[in-house]
């Protein structure tokens, strides 16, 4: 009698192959055309679409020892 | 935003998702030069004005990723799958915490140890085997997810590969070997997984020519055991109390 065996392949998880999919999706969303050397131009595109990317402002928040709430990011982690 | 059914394993998924996000920020926004890079990326993502957009992107990416992951899994299955001549292992070790010693005649090993958590249809079927022990040379209880166990490849839904481990192999005195999967009358998977298994089992029996095999889904009904050996398993008929496709299981 012939028997069949396969090792488990599906752990219900997202793996490293997610990176290129996320890259493509994010670029399409913000209209970035794959030229990833023009950081300033890309930042400008995102800001025009309402993304707050003022690094200095975020930095000041850290420097000012503002209480950084990890909770929001953790929530994103938890539900991903 | 919650993961769909195919990505339930959040703990294993988070590192890959984080890496994808950090990589994208580096590649397209030059975050490598940002001081406290990871904290700043997290702040950007979690910022009230940004969060909704990034959640939308993540949701779309996860949706698009499903097809990629399915192909990846299929490739891994194809690489790992094996077909081999099955033999019951010469010896078997019991687990004192999960198995129980049971008195049954003709069990392939002596003494007989079986999983204490096996279901009632299985326990009842074992009684049936003992009652018919004069027609049985040996019987064996299958297990799962090991090469020591007897598996049949099947798909459900189409394209998604599983291994079906039928509950019992029974060698009869007339030379036939029975491959039996027990279910109860309230089988919730009757119209889906059980149907796929039942139909695959009939195909398998036909393919294994000259081996005197028989088998099917067996259900205890009205105090006796019935077996379905049809090439098409119509559970919908049973739900309408039509058991014409089932015959009395006799050894």
> Whose CA is closest to B135, among B106, B168, B167?
B106
Give the residue extent of every domain in chain B: 5-80, 99-248
Virtual CA dihedral for A35, A41, A45, A51, nearest 10 degrees? 110
pLDDT tens profile A39-70: 999 999 999 999 998 877 887 777 665 555 55
Pairing between β-strand B161-164 and β-strand B213-221 as defined by DSSP bridges: unpaired
- Domain B99-248: state its class: alpha beta
Cα distance between residue B184 and residue B102, in whole Å? 22
- Chain B residue numbers with beta carbons less than 8 Å from the beta carbon of A61 are 43
Q: What ranges make up the beta strands (E) of B17-135?
A: 82-85, 99-102, 112-115
pLDDT in tens, B211-248: 999 999 999 998 899 999 999 999 999 999 999 999 99
In this predicted complex, what is the ipTM?
Answer: 0.78
pLDDT (0 to 100) of residue A59: 76
Parent domain of A59:
36-80
Q: Which residues from B are below 8 Å from A58, CB to CB? A: 40, 43-44
Number of domains within chain A: 1
Q: Does B9 touch chain A (CB under 8 A)?
A: yes
B 130-189 residues with CB < 8 A to A: 145-147, 149-153, 161, 163, 177
Residues of A in Cβ contact (< 8 Å) with B152: 3-4
With respect to residue A61, please indicate whether it lies within any of the assigned structural domains: yes
Residue B69 main-chain phi, psi, to 5 deg: -65, -40
Whether A21 is in a domain gets the answer no
pTM of the model: 0.71
């Amino acid at each position: 009698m012939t028997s069949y065996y396969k090792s488990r392949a599906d752990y219900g998880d997202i793996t490293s192959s997610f990176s290129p999919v996320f890259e493509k999706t994010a670029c399409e969303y913000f209209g970035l055309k794959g030229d990833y050397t023009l950081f300033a131009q890309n930042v400008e595109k995102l800001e025009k679409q309402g993304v707050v990317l003022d690094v200095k402002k975020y930095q000041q928040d850290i420097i000012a020892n503002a209480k950084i709430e990890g909770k929001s990011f953790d929530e994103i982690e938890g539900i991903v | 935003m919650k993961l769909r059914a195919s990505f339930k394993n959040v703990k294993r998924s988070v590192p890959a998702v984080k890496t994808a996000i950090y990589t994208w920020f580096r590649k397209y926004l030059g975050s490598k030069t940002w001081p406290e890079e990871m904290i700043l990326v997290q702040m950007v993502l979690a910022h009230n004005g940004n969060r909704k957009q990034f959640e939308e992107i993540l949701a779309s990416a996860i949706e698009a990723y499903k097809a990629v992951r399915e192909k990846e899994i299929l490739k891994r299955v194809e690489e790992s799958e094996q077909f081999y001549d099955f033999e019951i292992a010469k010896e078997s070790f019991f687990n004192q915490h999960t198995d129980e010693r049971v008195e049954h005649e003709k069990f392939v090993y002596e003494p007989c140890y079986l999983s204490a958590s096996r279901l009632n249809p299985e326990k009842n079927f074992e009684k049936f085997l003992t009652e018919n022990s004069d027609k049985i040379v040996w019987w064996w209880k299958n297990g799962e997810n090991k090469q020591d166990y007897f598996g049949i490849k099947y798909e459900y839904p189409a394209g998604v590969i599983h291994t079906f481990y039928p509950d019992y192999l029974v060698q009869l005195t007339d030379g036939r070997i029975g491959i039996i999967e027990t279910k109860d009358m309230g089988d919730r998977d009757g119209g889906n997984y059980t149907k796929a298994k039942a139909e695959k089992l009939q195909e398998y029996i036909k393919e294994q020519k000259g081996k005197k095999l028989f088998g099917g889904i067996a259900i205890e009904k009205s105090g006796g055991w019935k077996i379905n050996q049809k090439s098409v398993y119509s559970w919908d008929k049973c739900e309408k109390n039509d058991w014409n496709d089932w015959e009395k299981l006799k050894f």
